Amino acid sequence: MSPVRGKPAESPPGRQVLRGTRVRVPAALALALAAALVGAPVAAAPPPELELTPEQAVILRRISELRFSPDGSQLVCVVSKAHGKTPESRLWRLDVRRGTFRRLTSTSFAERSPQWSSRGDLAFLSDASGRMQVHWLRAGAESAVVLAHATAVSAFRWSPDGSRIAFLARPPRSSSDDEREKAGDDARVADRNEELDRLSVADVGSPRVQPLVTEGWRVSEFEWLDDAHLLVSATDKPHVEAWTAALYSVDVGTGVFTLAAQPAQPFAGLSVSPKRTKWAYAGSRIEGPVPHDLFVQPVGGGAARNVTASIDRPVLETHWQDDAIAVVRVADGFEHRLFRLPASGRPEKLALPFSVRTFDVARDGTIACVGSAFDRLPELYLVPPRGQARQVSHLQEGWERVHLSGAARFRFKSFDGTPVEAVLMKPRQPRPGSKPPLVVLVHGGPASSFTSDYYWFASWAQLLAARGFAVLMVNPRGSTGYGEAFVKLNRADWGGGDYRDILAAVDTVVARGEADPRRLGIGGWSYGGQMSTWATTQSDRFRAAVVGACVYDLASEFGTEDDPAGDEWYFGTPWANPDVFARNSPSTYIARSNTPTLVIHGEHDPVNPVGQATALYRALKHRGVECELVVYPREGHLPREEAHQIDILRRMLAWFERHLEK
């Protein structure tokens, strides 16, 4: 059956300015005219604020992949934005001394993954040739291909001496594959080794490529240990859908893999210190569900040491200042903070007036970072070793008169006494004499969290607050940012304690008189979509729900999603634990749902396949519950196309306004 698509959301009616023939002069203008008549000086009235719209909400430049040059004099990063059907991504460069920040190249191609060599050469990935290849940039010249490969390159790293590049790419197609496809024989066979990226090494300026992995391995991360060895995160069981990776040292000359370490699963964020004496990764103390602490291990041998156990916050990003000092970004409640980790001594928290989205550190200790908040759009900042953060970019054009709301943070004790944190964003212009409708937003994950930031999903809260809604965002048990024990509290219990944490937050806000208990809505994306669906099956308190990229039936999702290892940590497998999957699935209780629900989904979502949305829609429709299903072609788990992002925001607003305004 073809996907069902609802009618486009209608725009709100425009306001009438003139009535009859009488024209009202604004007070500010009247005062200015009067002052002019008597010759008094008049201060210019500030321009009026603009209402945030869905169209404005997606006009945002994102800054990522910050990389200092070896001498710290330059910083290169990627600046991207939604742009038609294909997001735009370009390299920008900051001259650290002069403070100038501008586009690095004049191309209109996608650019990402900038990497400096020890010699000061800059390489990056560009699709200028039709597929991603390694380019480099020399002073005063446009980029040129430094590594031309028959297939797209997904990742690369310079060797320590700058003479070679290690990279990941799929093997070239065989002539027999091409012939079969021309003949219309394009059947897809699962788990073909030919579909795996392979690790290779190339000499700079030479067409010679040396494969290090021929087949049978899946390499996820890699770094150079020295000019003759790579450290890789890989598995020799690539078709086993479980966490089976380990760390290996690879001899570049022979291609021999030697086991170096077997961290607890899962682990990620592999890095090597500048002088190649240590490596580090973010891993778990005990298995799952996400990497948490930073472990550092000597290259020459010895046990890995947990260097962030005293912080007890998930490490999201690591960069080395030198071999004695690493700097990490951690999730700490609603903030992302930076800690400096000296080889000896206690971790040092850096006091910054914003949440940090990403960063890099120069050898002299200068930090470049992207700072943001609920009411602060992301921009680039420089933080000297001693001194205050200084803003060095002004990328967010067109936002000067647009108001963004802050959010009030509060902690409360949940049903069982567990402390939980939430924020309330109050309506921009509350209506006198009435309590505002409340929309509860639920974050994805579940091993994730709401952060004081502005991005596509955070714009939901800003748009709702601008239109008179109060917005509640809760980090319930299972969220990151509150310690490793907290993130594991909802194992095999989605919709149990976490759902009751959310209800306890709602009760807290209602008891304080800050929301109308008769006008409650709920919405979210991914796990947030699942929790929103779950809430409609457990209670009639919510008068409207907006469900994005949801999970409706956990067993069917496990059988159709990409990479089910995370779900297996939470629930096991459907054939071993059918009762657990049923108990945690909204589908089991859908006969209780009476809440009007807007269901939105990407047609090619590999994380939560679109069948989850169509099954939910069919059940609600069959039961006579008001519902709409909107499926977006070409989209995966998160919407990338500008028009689709705008359309989702319009429909979300219209749905809540229709059902919660009265």
Look at the chain and report how many structural domains it folds into.
1
In a domain, 223, yes or no: no
Instruction: Calculate Rg over the CA atoms of the chain.
Output: 27
What is the per-residue pLDDT across 155-175, written as a single tens digit (0 to 9) for each? 999 999 999 999 999 988 777
Q: Which two tokens stand for residue 256?
A: 């021999």
Q: What is the DSSP letter of 427?
A: -
Instruction: For residue 486, give its domain range.
Output: 408-660
Q: Is the dihedral of CA 79, 82, 84, 87 positive or negative?
A: positive
Q: What is the DSSP letter of 591?
A: G
pTM of the model as a whole: 0.90
Q: What is the DSSP letter of 619?
A: H
Distance CA 200, CA 214 (A): 9
CA dist 271 → 16, 317, 328, 346 (Å): 60, 10, 12, 21
* Size (the chain), residues: 662
Distance CA 166, CA 168 (A): 7
Distance CA 375, CA 92 (A): 25
Q: Is the dihedral of CA 630, 635, 636, 637 positive or negative?
A: negative
Query: Any alpha helices (H) in 390-513, and if so which ranges?
Result: 458-466, 484-487, 497-511
DSSP letter string, 175-239: HHHHHHHHTT--PPPTT-GGGS-EEEEEETT---EEES--SS-EEEEEEEEETTEEEEEEES-TT
Coil, strand or helix at 136: strand
Instruction: Report helix, strand and coil shares of the chain as percent, to nearest 5.
Output: 20, 35, 50
Position 188 scores a pLDDT of 83
Tell me whether residue 388 is exposed, middle or buried, using C-beta atoms within 10 angstroms of its C-beta: 0 to 12, 13 to 18, 19 or more. exposed
Distance CA 583, CA 492 (A): 9
Amino acid at 332: D
Cα angle, residue 343 at apex, residues 359 and 162 outer, rounded to 5° = 55
Position 1 scores a pLDDT of 42
Distance CA 499, CA 477 (A): 9
Long-range contacts of 251-260 (CB under 8 A, 24+ apart): 252/164, 252/166, 252/201, 252/210, 252/212, 252/227, 252/228, 253/228, 255/211, 255/212, 255/213, 257/217, 257/232, 260/231
Our measurement of the distance from residue 109's CA atom to the centroid of its chain's CA atoms, rounded to an integer in Å, reads 23
Amino acid at 101: F
The pairing of beta strand 305-306 with beta strand 293-298: antiparallel
In a domain, 365, yes or no: no
Structural contact between residues 130 and 148, judged by C-beta atoms closer than 8 angstroms: no
In a domain, 215, yes or no: no
The pairing of beta strand 335-342 with beta strand 348-349: antiparallel
In a domain, 137, yes or no: no
Report the run of H or E that residue 618 belongs to, with start and end.
helix 611-623
Cα angle, residue 169 at apex, residues 164 and 175 outer, rounded to 5° = 120
Q: Is the peptide bond before 432 cis (omega within 30 degrees of 0)?
A: no
Position 343 scores a pLDDT of 81
In a domain, 174, yes or no: no
In a domain, 278, yes or no: no
Distance CA 102, CA 56 (A): 23
Amino acid at 343: A
Residue 503 half-sphere exposure, CB side, CA atoms within 13 Å?
17
Position 345 scores a pLDDT of 78
CATH of the domain at 469: 3.40.50.1820
Q: Which two tokens stand for residue 147?
A: 């590594």
Distance CA 174, CA 194 (A): 10
In a domain, 293, yes or no: no
Which regions of the chain are under pLDDT 50?
1-38
CA dist 281 → 36, 472, 486 (Å): 68, 34, 21
Distance CA 17, CA 317 (A): 52
Coil, strand or helix at 61: coil
Position 43 scores a pLDDT of 60
Structural contact between residues 553 and 587, judged by C-beta atoms closer than 8 angstroms: yes
Coil, strand or helix at 2: coil
CA dist 138 → 123, 124, 143, 464 (Å): 9, 12, 7, 48
Q: Which of 261, 302, 264 is nearest to 282 (CA)?
A: 264
Structural contact between residues 531 and 585, judged by C-beta atoms closer than 8 angstroms: no
Going across the sheet that includes 367-373, the strands are 355-361, 367-373, 376-383, 390-391
Tell me whether residue 332 is exposed, middle or buried, using C-beta atoms within 10 angstroms of its C-beta: 0 to 12, 13 to 18, 19 or more. buried
In a domain, 251, yes or no: no
590-625 burial, b if ≥16 CB within 10 A, otherwise e?
beebbbbbbbbbbeebebbbbebbbbbbbbbeeeeb
